[in-house]
């Protein structure tokens, strides 16, 4: 067969994870920013900006997991069992905030603060352990005869913990600029004031991760810094700097839409950088997408359904964002 099914599936899953990071990123970010906003009315607005879409955002995570199982069962088996604790804690965090999200609106005043705390705690836990899992993924896994051969706590390294904190910063900025776009008045002003320090924090942690990664992994350094690769990949860090500069300017000039769009671009650039560092390994540091692939008759079988259903999902997603466009105000009821 001339078609490289593994490549197609790697792109589909890569795209799905990207969709997840971007979309659940800003709604997790809202949970992270909750402690900075005290008033109940403003907290309601924050939640209402994502209420119509957040559960759809999270479904990309389920799809990513199931598609990984179907297309790359070895990667699903090794990566998920190696990242056992961080992933379980992430899932529990997501459950917590999902249920808190719904019941906060339905709870009476005396109990609302409990659901608020569950929402904040769940968002922070889910984001932190997602970042930890990402860091551990970059660090790679020891695999012997198709089985994860490392220890139960190999994921727990200074680098992975730092990645956990870095992701909190990234999602907070996504949430912050999302709110600048979707709100007005005092809440928007508060987010404006938060955006600048958050941009600097994100720039700093991105810088640290970008230096730490090649320093710790010779093959990743080789990928980036050998010639002619350096020239091919140089635009990525340059664009990051350019975007950050534009983002800071946009914040200063009180723009509404561009801060969010520029943050999305930043996240996308970071994601591309990650792809450049790891490609074509789906189980870093050594197992490629082709080695971890399910047989072609499995990948082909699910491709039929995916090609039919994913465009439909994308259209629907685009439509629901279109329907709920525009500013959210305090007097708008609960969605």
Partner 1 sequence: MFGIEALDLARIQFAFTISFHIIFPAITIGLASYLAVLEGLWLKSGETVYRDLYHFWAKIFAVNFGMGVVSGLVMAYQFGTNWSAFSDFAGAITGPLLTYEVLTAFFLEAGFLGVMLFGWQRVGPGLHFFATLMVAIGTLISTFWILASNSWMHTPQGFEIVDGRVIPVDWLAVVFNPSFPYRLAHMATAAFLATAFFVGASAAWHLLRGRDNPALRKMLSMAMWMALLVAPLQALIGDFHGLNTLQYQPAKIAAIEGHWQNHGDEPTPLILFGWPDMQREETRFKLEIPALGSLILTHSLDRQVPALKEFAAADRPNSTVVFWTFRVMVGLGTLMILTGLWSLWLRSRGRLFQARPFLHLAVWMGPSGIIAILAGWYTTEVGRQPWIVQGLMRTAEASSGHGLGQMSLTLALFVLVYFALFGAGLGYMMRLVRKGPITDEGQVPSEGGPGRKRTPSRPLSAADEDLDDNDGDRLAGRN
Where in 134-173 is the site for partner 1 (CB under 8 A)?
Answer: 146-148, 152
297 binds partner 1 (CB under 8 A): yes
318 binds partner 1 (CB under 8 A): no
The label of the residue with tokens 């090794």 reads 78
Distance CA 275, CA 271 (A): 6
Question: Among 123, 117, 89, 122, which residue's Cα sits nearest to residue 104?
Answer: 117
288 binds partner 1 (CB under 8 A): no
Q: Are 179 and 46 in contact (CB under 8 A)?
A: yes
Q: Are 180 and 256 in contact (CB under 8 A)?
A: yes
Q: Which stretch binds partner 1 (CB under 8 A): 17-25, 26-34, 170-178, 323-331?
A: 323-331
17 binds partner 1 (CB under 8 A): no
Q: Which of residues 252-271 bind partner 1 (CB under 8 A)?
A: none
Distance CA 24, CA 16 (A): 12
Q: Are 32 and 124 in contact (CB under 8 A)?
A: yes
Q: Which stretch binds partner 1 (CB under 8 A): 56-64, 131-139, 220-228, 248-256?
A: 56-64
Q: For partner 1, how many residues bind (rule: CB under 8 A)? A: 73
Which of 117, 223, 327, 335 forms a contact with partner 1 (CB under 8 A)?
335
Q: Which of residues 79-138 bind partner 1 (CB under 8 A)?
A: 79-81, 83-85, 87-89, 91-92, 94-96, 98-99, 102-103, 106-112
Residue 22: CB minimum distance to partner 1, A: 17
56 binds partner 1 (CB under 8 A): yes
E-assigned strand segments in 134-204: 143-144, 147-148
62 binds partner 1 (CB under 8 A): yes
Residue 10: CB minimum distance to partner 1, A: 15
C-alpha torsion sign, points 121, 127, 133, 138? negative
Closer of 147 and 230 to partner 1 (Cβ):
147
Q: Are 258 and 250 in contact (CB under 8 A)?
A: yes
Q: Is 148 helix (H, G, I), strand (E, B) or coil?
A: strand
Phi first, then psi: what are they for 282, rounded to 5°? Answer: -95, -20
Q: Which stretch binds partner 1 (CB under 8 A): 67-75, 167-175, 256-264, 270-278?
A: 67-75
Closer of 231 and 322 to partner 1 (Cβ):
322
Which of 22, 214, 317, 330 forms a contact with partner 1 (CB under 8 A)?
317
Which of 78, 132, 203, 269 forms a contact with partner 1 (CB under 8 A)?
78
63 binds partner 1 (CB under 8 A): yes
Which of 8, 17, 18, 74 forms a contact with partner 1 (CB under 8 A)?
74
- The CA–CA distances, whole Å, from 84 to 34, 80, 132, 171 equal 28, 6, 12, 23
Q: Which of residues 33-52 bind partner 1 (CB under 8 A)?
A: 51-52
Question: Among 129, 137, 146, 132, which residue's Cα sits nearest to residue 79?
Answer: 137
> Any idea what DSSP says for residue 184?
-
**Token pair listed for 64:** 């990513």
């Amino acid at each position: 067969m001339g078609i490289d099914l593994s490549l197609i599936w790697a792109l589909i899953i890569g795209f799905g994870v990207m969709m997840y990071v971007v979309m659940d990123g800003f709604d997790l970010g809202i949970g992270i920013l909750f402690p900075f906003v005290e008033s109940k009315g403003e907290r309601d607005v924050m939640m209402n900006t994502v209420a119509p879409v957040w559960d759809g955002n999270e479904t990309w995570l389920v799809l990513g997991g199931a598609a990984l199982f179907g297309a790359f069962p070895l990667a699903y088996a090794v990566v998920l069992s190696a990242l056992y604790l961080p992933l379980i804690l992430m899932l529990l965090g997501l459950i917590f905030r999902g249920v808190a999200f719904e019941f906060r609106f339905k709870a009476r005043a005396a109990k609302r603060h409990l659901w608020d705390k569950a929402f904040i705690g769940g968002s922070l836990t889910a984001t932190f352990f997602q970042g930890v899992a990402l860091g551990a993924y970059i660090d790679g896994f020891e695999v012997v005869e198709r089985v994860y051969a490392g220890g139960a706590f190999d994921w727990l390294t200074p680098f992975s913990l730092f990645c956990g904190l870095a992701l909190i910063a990234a999602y907070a900025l996504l949430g912050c600029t999302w709110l600048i776009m979707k709100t007005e008045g005092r809440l928007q002003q508060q987010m404006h004031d938060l955006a600048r320090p958050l941009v600097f924090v994100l720039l700093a942690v991105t810088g640290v991760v970008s230096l730490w990664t090649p320093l710790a992994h010779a093959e990743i350094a080789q990928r980036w810094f050998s010639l002619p690769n350096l020239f091919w990949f140089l635009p990525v860090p340059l664009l990051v700097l350019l975007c950050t500069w534009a983002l800071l300017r946009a914040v200063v000039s009180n723009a509404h839409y561009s801060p969010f769009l520029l943050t999305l671009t930043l996240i996308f650039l970071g994601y591309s950088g990650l792809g450049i560092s790891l490609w074509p390994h789906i189980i870093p540091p050594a197992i490629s997408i082709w080695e971890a692939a399910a047989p072609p008759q499995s990948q082909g079988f699910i491709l039929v359904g995916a090609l039919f259903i994913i465009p439909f999902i994308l259209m629907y997603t685009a439509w629901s964002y279109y329907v709920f466009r525009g500013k959210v105000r305090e007097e708008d009821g609960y969605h």
